[in-house]
Amino acid sequence: MTPLLPVRIVAQLAPGSQLPYFGGGTETGWRWGNERGTIVTADATKTSGSATAATDTGASAVSATGVPTRATQRDLVDTGARLQKWFRSNLPELREFELRNVSLPDGNGVANETLMCDGAWTDASGQHVRGFVVRIQTPEWLWKDVNFTSHRMMYQALADVPGVPVPAIVGWDDEGTVLGSPFFVMDRVEGKVPGDTPPFHSGGWVADLTDASREEMWRDAVAVMARLHQVSASKFSFLERPALGDTGFDQDLAYWRSYQQWALAGDHNDVIETAEQWLLDHLPEERITGIGWGDSRVGNMIFRDNRVQAVLDWDEVSLVGAESDLAWWGIMDFMNTESAGVKRLGGIGSPEQTVQLWEECMGRKAKDLWFHSVYAAYRMSIIMVRLGKLMGAAGLVPPEALEEMLHYNGGLLSVARMLDIPIKSPVTTAWSGLQL
């Protein structure tokens, strides 16, 4: 699912529209190492969600519709008939296969279309029922130059990696001949996903756990992420974009600079352009090629018995390297706690503790975290601009809220304070920041 990024929404929504929840209610500060700045977020429309999702939506079942996709218009009866025919043609060993309960998850995010369904069939051992998730390419993407096939290939590449659980891929249609768009089918993994709307720190099934259970859950999540980071980049050669640079890091930075131009579509933004130049002026000495999950956070994991059952969401996957994930995890943590005016639950480690645990798991120190933190906030800012333009074009937000998303979104305010870039903002309360 699209990362739930911070944005300050003060206007009323357009009639009949609904916004995903993007953050909290107070300004905070940020300091990594000896650097210091400020992150700002404020209340946005929120919805409560179920804690029992087992899909690749990247969050628990949440009634946040985001940008409308074809999921909101799809005839589920017709879709079910088409999928049943596809299952029978591609899995002939499942005799008398019947597709049941085709439905939309409560929260479909803003980046992809997802369907839930059950399959029933018989074989030599008897009758069986199995849950599936269908992931469908969305026609109007939040992302630039999307390679939808790479999502499916990530699950396939990780299928035999010990300690990095992912749903099993059942089949796919890359041509879009069945549903009108490419899709892939995977097994549904049973479990619970920490909610984003509102942040799981403020309530829900995670809050109901004991501190000890939450610590067990957090430790396993960080350990799984570290094991992902230890997988050789050669296993993900399909993510290589040699035309964009020599290393995975260079390719990712070039992609996001290109995304910036695409998202702004000719508009100028002094904060984003200043941040871009800062990144170019402060490049890490070692620019590596290594797997980067992208939207790295517990909200993109399925849990059962305090253990990770599946890692989800490859919208932002690249070969940028592990430190990018650590920085994104840290910023997203603050957006759902201090930035939201929400106290972190006992047992869930802070960003500092997450880095320390990750270093223990990896057997090495993290590098260039300040750079990657600025990079994360920069990416947030331009994603929010793109999202704002999509939502504005769809009539989901009134002009006042659209103005906020385009010019004062949480990513913009974050990177402005991190780099002391002047920006007009009505929120002024400071916070002491992060120290390692």
Residue type (1 letter), 408? Y
- Other C-beta atoms lying within 10 Å of the C-beta of residue 242: 9
DSSP 281-317: HT--S----B-B-SS-SGGGEEEETTEEEEE---TT-
pLDDT higher than 70, residue 131: yes
- What pLDDT, on the 0 to 100 scale, is given for residue 352? 92
* Three-state secondary structure call for residue 310: strand
pLDDT higher than 90, residue 329: yes
Question: What ranges do the domains of the chain cover?
Answer: 27-55+194-418, 70-187
| Region 303-310 average pLDDT | 98
- What pLDDT, on the 0 to 100 scale, is given for residue 73? 66
Give the pLDDT confidence of 62-85 residue by residue, as tens digits.
222 334 433 456 899 999 999 999
| pTM beyond cutoff 0.75 | yes
Lookup result for tokens 């992902």: 228
* Three-state secondary structure call for residue 199: coil
Highest mean pLDDT among 24-28, 45-49, 414-418 belongs to 414-418
Sequence-ordered list of residues with C-beta below 8 angstroms from that of 168, at least 6 positions apart, any chain: 155, 159, 186, 187
DSSP letter at 262 equals H
Query: How far apart are the C-alpha atoms of 14 and 315, rounded to whole Å?
Result: 28
Strand order in the sheet with 183-187: 95-103, 113-123, 126-136, 183-187, 169-173
- What pLDDT, on the 0 to 100 scale, is given for residue 19? 38
* Three-state secondary structure call for residue 256: helix
DSSP 64-127: ---S--GGGT--HHHHHHHHHHHHHHH-TTSEEEEEEEEE--S--TTT-EEEEEEEEEEETTEE
pLDDT higher than 50, residue 42: no
Lowest mean pLDDT among 57-61, 112-116, 210-214: 57-61
Give the pLDDT confidence of 277-289 residue by residue, as tens digits.
999 999 999 999 9
Average pLDDT for the chain = 81
Lowest mean pLDDT among 148-162, 344-358, 375-389, 405-419: 405-419
| Region 385-412 average pLDDT | 88
- At 372, list the tokens: 């990657």
Which pLDDT band holds residue 110 (cuts at 50, 70, 90)? low
pLDDT higher than 60, residue 298: yes
Lowest mean pLDDT among 111-115, 144-148, 238-242, 248-252: 111-115
The highest-level CATH class for domain 27-55+194-418 is: alpha beta
Nearest to residue 370, comparing CAs of 360, 378, 362?
Answer: 378
Sequence-ordered list of residues with C-beta below 8 angstroms from that of 215, at least 6 positions apart, any chain: 346, 347, 348, 349
- At 251, list the tokens: 């390719």
The highest-level CATH class for domain 70-187 is: alpha beta
pLDDT higher than 50, residue 61: no
Q: Is the dihedral of CA 362, 368, 370, 376 positive or negative?
A: negative
- What pLDDT, on the 0 to 100 scale, is given for residue 68? 41
